[in-house]
Structure 1
Amino acid sequence: MIDFRYHLVSIIAVFLALTVGLVLGTTMLQDPLLNTLQSETADLRGQSEELRAERDDSELLNTGADQFTDAVAADVLEERLLDREVVLVAAPGADEEVVQALGGRVEEAGGSVAGRVLFEESFLDSGSSTFVDELALQVAADPGDLSGNPYDKAGTALGHALAVPDEEGLEESAETEDAEATEGRDRDNDDTEADGEADTGATDAPDTGHDASAVLSAFSEGGLLTVEGSPAASADALIVVAPASNAPEEDAERVNTALSSLTAALHRQVGPTVLAGGTDSGRPGGLVALARDQEPSHATVDVVGRSTGNVVAVLALADSLDGSGSAYGIGEGVVGFLPDPLPGPVETAETEADAEAEAVAESGNEDEARRRAPRSGE
């Protein structure tokens, strides 16, 4: 039978063994362990200092690049958007300073800011999608042309309201209505000739029945956006400014899909369009990154917010005037930091007329040169 003394001796032996192990471990391993920890700490401290120095150098280089950009921007952008009316579209959460800076660059490029459309947070609320859908159908010039999700429909209706009316289409419509009016008058004259009645008819330009300002007002009164300036029926081109920060992860896909659909629909209606955001927007989970995954026909830029990036955005818009746009910046899928080659100045009809008149003048026919020269106001 095992008595109490046996248990006592066993317990004492265990504690003695632990004590001896601790003493031996601390005396034999202390120096090597401390040396290793100290060495690793020193390495990490050195890496931290190097990274801090690289960060400081990068900031100085970025500041210098912005200063250089400010110095040469007027020459780089000169006449790239000559006589173009640009509407700035700000997504909910877009940086106000970035929107203003982009407007300034547009003016440096010879363009004009026709107005700004600033979307409210309520536009993207999950509970507002039905209202957005119904409102788009109510104000659209042709509701049958609307398709897709509510933001596709809203973008189509708003884009139609922002875009400069198609003059060729209006002329064709006017000719058609004039022809119909003439035919109607002829029939009426035949019917009323015995009575000696005459029908003069109407020869004014056709009434399309679509009030662009009313469309914007409807969305504004619905609390979905704010309109500044006079963007209705004025836009030759658009710059859509992405939110300053990405949406929360749980809501990012829905929000980015909505804004991407809106931008694509605006582009289809207006034409030259740039979706511009900061570097965060070009990373996974950002609006620009999602738009690029869908391979849009409009341009995208992911470096706005600094002088250099804002100039890139305007160059991208100028590059889009003759066709579809590409992806610029530093994110995945870009074709380059900026368009290469750079877009040239816009050639206006007046410039072409001047060149033709100059060529005729050189041939010695001064009267013909004066006849070909553009008159004031043409």
Structure 2
Amino acid sequence: MIDFRYHIVSIVAIFFALGAGVVLGAGPLKGTGTQLVQDQALKDRKDLVQAREELIQAKALDKYRDDYVSKVTAGLTDGKLTGKNVAVVTMPDVDGDLANNTVETLEKAGAQVTTRVSLDAKLFQADQRQLIDQLTTELVTADVTFTKDSTTFERTGQILGRAIAANAEGKNVDGDATKILGGLTGSKLFGLKPTPKQRASLIVVIAGKTPNPAPDTSSYSDAVDLAEGLDRASSGVVVAGTPESAQNGGYLKSLRGDSDAAKAVSSVDVANMPSGRATIVFALVEQAEGKAGQYGGVDAKNGVAPSAAQAKDN
């Protein structure tokens, strides 16, 4: 137990400190505290003004950079995808502006965006796996072959790919594709707009926002498998996302960590920038040639973009 004398000493010390403060406040240090507060307030105001000016300048420079890159890259991508049909698949919780800007870039590069498929968040929930397996079994067509070790979502990607894509240009949406699309959209786990008339040869998958806190990267294994399945059903797939998606807990991080997927599927982690969207175009051109690469600014194994020579020659 604490001794009673300890309390007495503590109380005396408190009163002594209070008394000393009163004396000093009325004596030689009178007004010093007020002056200190005023000086600090003045300094804070100056710092705030400077910070505001720096922020305005930074935003202006960012806008300049984006506008400049947008104008420069627009010329570089002109005609790169002429004659190519491209389907866009958006992951759950995708940024609408990111998706719209990507579609705009593809169209400016000459591509015909045949359709946009949106994936519902419930698709990747464990309690939906039985339904997904059932759908895959019911909707498989005679011209689709699964590998022996294929996963549920690899098969799902192949089935979806059979409906919206093909390994060559000029393939129309046939009866089998229509049946698949009806079954997938009927599950309410897949959205489709517009209904395509032609199947695409290339596919862009747009990553959704990374949750906060970020999940374990293994939580994206099904999404990675889906991209691999789409790749098997088409001439190539590019997965596009923001820098956050390439960091721990992100879709692109998981994709790049899967050696088999990274050999087949390309990725771009700066799709929120004009330069990044141009890189998506170059990566699609590369995919059409049977090549893959991981591009961007965050642990991108193959650099910022396909080589200048490749981009220029195509």
TM bucket, shorter chain: 0.7 to 0.9
TM-score, scaled to structure 2: 0.76
For residues 38-53 of structure 1, the aligned pairs below 5 Å read: none
Deviation of 1:150 after TM superposition, in Å, equals: 2.1
Q: 1:57 to 1:92 in 2, by over 3 A?
A: same
Q: Alpha-carbon deviations, 1:195-214, whole Å to 9, x = none?
A: xxxxxxxxxxxxxx981221
1:160-309 pair list within 5 angstroms: 160-164=162-166, 211-231=176-196, 234-243=199-208, 245-247=209-211, 249=213, 253=217, 255-295=219-259, 296-297=262-263, 298-309=265-276
**Aligned partners of 1:102 and 1:11: how far apart in 2?**
71
* CA apart distance, 1:48: 7.5
Shift of 1:290: 1.5
Check whether the contact 1:137–1:146 (CA below 8 A) recurs between aligned residues: no
8 Å Cα contact 2:168-2:234 kept in structure 1: no
Any unmatched runs of 5+ in structure 1? 1-6, 171-208, 347-378
Q: Secondary structure at the match of 2:267?
A: strand
CA distance in 2, matches of 1:136, 1:217: 13
Aligned residues: 296
Q: Which residue in the other structure is 1:120 paired with?
A: 120
**C-alpha displacement of 1:249:** 4.0
1:184 aligned residue: none
Gaps of 5+ in 2: none
1:152-189, Cα deviation, whole Å (9 max, x unpaired) = 2201222233332569xx9xxxxxxxxxxxxxxxxxxx
Which of residues 320, 342, 349 is equivalent to 2:287?
A: 320
Structure 2 partner of 1:158 = 160
Cα 1:39/1:61, change in 2 over 3 Å: same
Change (3 A) 1:115 1:42: same
| Contact 1:82–1:345 (CA under 8 A) maintained in structure 2 | no
- Does the CA contact (< 8 Å) of 1:86 and 1:114 recur in 2? yes
SS of structure 1 residue aligned to 2:228: helix
Residues 1:79 and 1:49: Cα distance change in structure 2 (over 3 Å): same
8 Å CA contact 1:80–1:345 kept in 2: the answer is no
Is the contact between residue 214 and residue 248 of structure 2 (CA under 8 Å) also seen in structure 1?
Answer: no
Match of 1:81 in 2: 81
* 1:328–1:339 CA contact under 8 A, matched in 2: yes
Structure of larger gyration radius:
1
Once the two structures are superposed, residues 266-290 of structure 1 have per-residue CA deviations (whole angstroms, 9 ceiling, x without a partner) of 1122132110012221221111122
Match of 1:58 in 2: 58
Report sequence identity in percent. 21
The match for 1:67 is: 67
Whole-angstrom CA distance in 1 between matches of 2:184 and 2:108: 31
- Letter of the 1:333 partner, please give it: A
- Partners of 1:13 and 1:308 lie apart in 2 by 70
Mapped contact 2:166–2:200 kept (Cα < 8 A): yes
Which amino acid counterpart does residue 286 of structure 2 have in structure 1?
A: D
TM-score (norm 1): 0.65
Residue 148 of structure 1, CA deviation: 3.5
**Paired residues of 1:81 and 1:345 also in contact (CA < 8 A):** no
Query: Residue 233 of structure 2: SS of its match in structure 1?
Result: helix
Deviations 1:19-69 (A, max 9, x none): 557767997xx9xxx999999999999888776655444322221122223
Between the aligned partners of 2:301 and 2:89, the Cα distance in structure 1 is 22
Aligned to 1:310: 277
Q: Which one-letter code corresponds to 2:166 in the other structure?
A: V
Corresponding residue for 1:199? none
Amino acid at match of 1:272: G
